[in-house]
Amino acid sequence: MKEKKMSNLSEEIINRYLTGQCSEEELIEVNAWMKESEENARQLFRMEEIYHLGKFDQYTDEQRILRAEKQLYKKLDEEKGKQSKILSMHRWMKYAAVIAVMLVMGGGVVYWFYQSGNNQQMMVAVASEGIVKEVVLPDGSKVWLNNAATLKYPREFSEKERNVYLEGEAYFEVTKNRHKPFTVQSDAIRVRVLGTTFNLKSDKRCRIAEATLIEGEIEVKGNKEEGQIILTPGQRAELNKNNGRLTVKQVDAKLDAVWHDNLIPFQKADIFTITKALERFYDVKIILSPDIQTGKTYSGVLKRKSNIESVLKSLQNSIPIDYKIVGNNIFISPK
């Protein structure tokens, strides 16, 4: 595609923005260009709508079924591969016996692994799709696992430390113990605390890992030594896995963690704040029409529903909006 200037914004940057591949600097440039005029905002909104409509409508029903089948078989092959690796491991484990016990617990699954070779006893809790799963750790700390998150922890903590491993998103209420630090390790960052309440989100599929502090104090550090930050309540640490940049933002911390009790409270929130919370809650992308009203604020509580469309219908009772859902993208315009 030939590059040409579109009101001082290159078509190449716009293409990267639409495909979700632009850098942070380019994203700032796009936002600045959009704010220059209402026409720019309208133009970008239409381009996003056309792009996403085209992206999802280019396949026939038969093609969509074939694509879904391929993805399913790929997932099954991956699971078979994992099982083969486990069987191979058992063949060469000469001195260690491994026992695995699976327990079904209120919408989640807990695996207990015991390896006699080094007296290591590990628990693995996995939250089911669409359920928030509560886990009580050996020290009494409570962890709520979000959609399909995985938590690994020892059956008993050692005398000097409390270490757990998280993949996905979880809300922590850590029991205070100044003599035994509590550390959460993930694929990108680790959080160290003595006793506090925080939310940690670190998914291998996402380029941003983040920790948000609700109460107390936590230390956040990148696994590759990307800085070290002490957070105070109301702050969120974000690590960009691509460039290794660790930054701190002032946020409404409670909104980052409301998923664990299935409620989304709003206090004098505008449409931007509300849609951002819905994006985090339902893992969707919401695109607002440039002519939507932004001056009004709303207060209340939204109850989590099984899907985003049910929430949007409830929202229409208070806010005059229309919406269009295309795959994982939602276009919101004034009614």
User: Mean pLDDT per 10-residue run, the chain (335 residues)?
Assistant: 52 76 75 74 70 51 50 52 49 40 45 46 75 85 88 90 93 92 93 91 87 93 86 93 90 77 76 84 86 82 79 86 88 89
Residue with tokens 């399909």: 148
Q: What is the DSSP letter of 244?
A: -
Contact status, residue 280 vs residue 323, Cβ threshold 8 Å: no
Rounded to 10°, the helix 11-18/38-57 angle is 50
Predicted confidence at residue 105, as pLDDT, reads 44
The CA-atom distances, in angstroms, between 59 and each of 5, 66, 164, 326 are 31, 10, 43, 13
Q: CA-to-CA distance for 76 and 63, rounded, in angstroms?
A: 20
pLDDT for res 192: 93
Whole-number Å distance between alpha carbons of 8 and 43: 14
Provide the token pair at 238.
């974000």
Q: Which residues 6+ apart lie within 8 Å of 56 measured at CB?
A: 326, 327
What was the pLDDT predicted at 163?
94
